[in-house]
Amino acid sequence: MVGKCFCLPASASILLNSLVSLTTTRRAILQKLRAMGSPRVAQSMARFGISTRDALGIPMPTLRKLAREIGSSHQLALELWKSGLHEARTLAALIDDPERVTEAQMERWAGEFDSWDVCDCCCGNLFDKTAFAYRKVAEWTRRREEYVKRAGFSLMAALAARDKKTANNKFLRFLPLIKRESTDERNFVKKAVNWALRQIGKRNLELHRGAVETALEIKKLDSRSARWIAVDALRELRSAAVGRRLRRKKAGAG
């Protein structure tokens, strides 16, 4: 009896080879990350309030260099995130393609944040470039979970710093959100609220005036967190260096 030859359709064969290649690549990268880890670096990360529960101890510049070598890959980013390793998740944010990121993915990743640095890396390197960025700011700044709320303000700060095309009125609408959440005493939240306020205020002279006015209003609130946010933000926003930079920016635009 002649044996039957079973052949996969061309499309299925390509898909299978792609999955095998992806699995192999993921394993190779995870092995590389584990080999690059340093307990000494992990200890220094802990001193900065970074969660080291699943951390290997790899400096950020090293991860950025590795990300450039790997290039953009949405599917690989998803696989690396699923590993749960601290550095693998950081790397995932650096190599993912923002045009392929879905709102569901953003919600899933934000819900799994357990360290401020991974949160900020995702917001400042990936989420801020998606079509959902401004919507997530409005939603996440209302959320109760510490790192999700931080993500809302981290994303706000990233947009204020890097989105050069959006009009002032969109950022002016962020200021009441900052005031509303300025009484949150949790360290990782209040620092992100402060960061967002300062970044908006450094964008241009109109937003600077709005940010300073908001800081003065926040300073009057009966909250230790609010007073810290206001005083720290005003210290930078009223500095001579920021004033010179904003005047030069206005002159350049004129």
Rounded Cα gap, residues 77 and 67, in angstroms: 10
| Residue segments in the chain with a per-residue pLDDT below the cut of 50 | 1-17, 19-20
Tokens of 178: 């900052």
Name the burial class of residue 38, with classes exposed (0-12), middle (13-18) and buried (19+) by CB atoms within 10 angstroms of its CB.
middle
Residue type, 153: F
> Would you list the DSSP string of 78-90?
HHHHHT--HHHHH
The predicted structure's pLDDT at residue 160: 98
Supply the pTM of this predicted model. 0.89
Helix, strand, coil percentages, rounded to 5, for the chain:
75, 0, 25
The predicted structure's pLDDT at residue 209: 98
Rounded Cα gap, residues 15 and 100, in angstroms: 19
57: left (phi over 0), alpha (psi -120 to 50) or beta: left
Name the burial class of residue 139, with classes exposed (0-12), middle (13-18) and buried (19+) by CB atoms within 10 angstroms of its CB.
middle
Contact between 188 and 150 (Cβ < 8 Å): yes
Which fold, 167-254?
Leucine-rich Repeat Variant (1.25.10)
Contacts of 108 (CB under 8 A, 6+ apart): none
The predicted structure's pLDDT at residue 12: 39
pLDDT in tens, 150-195: 999 999 999 999 999 999 999 999 999 999 999 999 999 999 999 9
Domain boundaries defined on the chain: 167-254
**CA-to-CA separations, 51 to 31, 85, 92, 96, in angstroms, rounded:** 21, 11, 17, 22
The predicted structure's pLDDT at residue 2: 42
**Phi and psi of 39, rounded to 5°?**
-60, -35
